Amino acid sequence: MKTPIYLDYQATTPLDPRVLESMLPYFTQHFGNAASRNHAFGWEAEKAVENAREQVAALLGASSKEIVFTSGSTESINLALKGVAQMYGETKKHIITSQAEHKAVLDTCKHLEKEGFEVTYLAPDKQARVSVEQVRAAMRADTILVALIWANNEVGTLNPVREIGALCHERGVLFFTDATQAAGKVPVDVEADQVDLLCLSGHKIYGPKGVGVLYVRRRNPRVRVQAQMDGGGHERGMRSGTLNVPGIVGLGKACELARLELTSEAQRSAALRDRLEKRITDALDHVHLNGSREHRLPNNLNLSFAFVEGESLIMGIKDCAVSSGSACTSASLEPSHVLRAMNVGEDLAHSSIRFGVGRFTTSEEIDFAADQVIGAVKRLRELSPLYEMAQEGIDLSQVNWQGGH
């Protein structure tokens, strides 16, 4: 077993060797521009891209004509939200999202607010879930779009996508979902789930970085999106720019593997995830699960270790690569906005660690990680004045804290 052990599969995943193999010919041998219509180099590239489009569509239950290739989920989110807002913004002004979204959605919504759109940020429940009733109550006559994450990137909670999709279609409101964490992990079917726009990223599903997808529904309703980049009019005019052929080929292969192995992989991940949780909670008390036990990704485990600060814990388990808060915000000292929105308590938000297991995780690695975590938490609790106070029976919420920074 090699250390450090990678347990941060929600941040990114290694490329599956089968994906790499599929990509290699398209760097040197079949290097054509997929938009070159006049020669075999272009035709070869175009054929590969269209094959990948089919593979992506199959994972989502979509038609290949509804797949737009982008550089990744952040771009897809910008294109979906800004593109829809601009296309439908003359008559409608209102967008519904939640406080537990990824920053790419929240910051895009803030941008749209500056342009005059009105955004409702629903407060999720303690498990990070938004209910269909909340969405219904927030809908207005001028609501254009509901944008909600399918599986939360920090705590892995699944939103009731199908119910929300049905509501949106009943009310004539477009529905975008960020499926970056969900695609390939839980079944996605844009028809049954009534999703109008959806994004995913290659690198979260054992594909390459720098390539992703925006699914844009073509029928019932036909969704129109204003392009955000001017240029050659690639991707049915929605996303100009020479196609990243090797990346797209890899993404297609990654989607195919994810589709074929989804059930077995979900079972395997969940077993490893549960093994990790059991070992940790058998040895330690005051460990809290963040998120929903019922509605969650099979490969995510977000735990708060009371009386221990997350960053110091990560230092203490240096042979394990895990995340405190989301990787995108860990440069700041603020606790995660998701845990804040869930209202788990600021002290527990500071004590949270996200473990992500994946295709290449072994049970040996899980046991090693569990031992490291248990050892570090015990050591840090010996160092913790909060643990000492709790042992003395002091209610920490009743203490008058002074001089906080």
Task: Please list the active-site residues.
Answer: 328
Residue 327 sits in the site that holds other proteins (CB under 8 A) = no
Closest by CA position to 77, among listed 85, 89, 66 = 85
Shortest distance, position 72 Cβ to other proteins, whole Å:
25
Within 13 A of 198's CA, how many CA atoms are on the CB side?
A: 29
Interface with other proteins by CB under 8 A: which range of 72-80, 272-280, 328-336, 362-370? 328-336
Q: Contact 245/29 with Cβ under 8 angstroms?
A: no
Q: Contact 327/379 with Cβ under 8 angstroms?
A: no
For other proteins, the binding residue among 385, 393, 395, 398 (CB under 8 A) is: 385
Shortest distance, position 317 Cβ to other proteins, whole Å:
12
Burial tier of 351 (Cβ tally within 10 Å: 0-12, 13-18, 19+): buried
Contacts 24+ apart (CB under 8 A), 342-349: 342/100, 342/124, 342/125, 342/126, 342/127, 342/128, 342/155, 342/290, 342/291, 343/126, 344/126, 344/288, 344/290, 344/304, 347/306, 347/386, 347/396, 348/288, 348/290, 348/304, 348/306, 349/304
Tokens for 120, please give them.
Answer: 């409702």
Shortest distance, position 384 Cβ to other proteins, whole Å:
5
Residue 405 sits in the site that holds other proteins (CB under 8 A) = yes
Residue 271 sits in the site that holds other proteins (CB under 8 A) = no
- Residue 325 — left, alpha, or beta (φ > 0 → left; ψ -120 to 50 → alpha)? left
Strand ranges across the sheet with 287-289: 287-289, 300-305, 352-356
Q: Contact 117/89 with Cβ under 8 angstroms?
A: yes
Instruction: For other proteins, give the closer residue by CB, 150 or 387.
Output: 387
Instruction: For other proteins, give the closer residue by CB, 230 or 395.
Output: 395
Residue 393 sits in the site that holds other proteins (CB under 8 A) = no
For other proteins, the binding residue among 65, 315, 319, 394 (CB under 8 A) is: 315
For other proteins, the binding residue among 69, 117, 307, 355 (CB under 8 A) is: 307
Residue 401 sits in the site that holds other proteins (CB under 8 A) = yes
Residues of this chain, 100-139, that bind other proteins according to CB under 8 A: none
Taking residues 44 to 83 in sequence order and writing x for each that binds other proteins by CB under 8 A, - otherwise, the string is: ----------------------------------------
Taking residues 332 to 371 in sequence order and writing x for each that binds other proteins by CB under 8 A, - otherwise, the string is: -x-x---------xxx--x---------------------
Shortest distance, position 203 Cβ to other proteins, whole Å:
23
Residue 170 sits in the site that holds other proteins (CB under 8 A) = no
Q: What's the chain's length in residues? A: 405
Count of residues binding other proteins (CB under 8 A)? 27
Q: Which residue has the tokens 């073509």?
A: 218
For other proteins, the binding residue among 191, 261, 309, 371 (CB under 8 A) is: 309
Shortest distance, position 8 Cβ to other proteins, whole Å:
15
Instruction: For other proteins, give the closer residue by CB, 247 or 335.
Output: 335
Shortest distance, position 45 Cβ to other proteins, whole Å:
42
Residue 189 sits in the site that holds other proteins (CB under 8 A) = no
- Residue 229 — left, alpha, or beta (φ > 0 → left; ψ -120 to 50 → alpha)? beta
Shortest distance, position 13 Cβ to other proteins, whole Å:
23
Q: Contact 146/135 with Cβ under 8 angstroms?
A: yes
Residue 404 sits in the site that holds other proteins (CB under 8 A) = yes
- Cα separation, 277 vs 283, in Å, equals 10
Radius of gyration of the chain (CA): 22
Tokens for 250, please give them.
Answer: 């890899």
Chain residues binding other proteins by CB under 8 A are 307-309, 311-312, 315-316, 331, 333, 335, 345-347, 350, 382-388, 396, 401-405
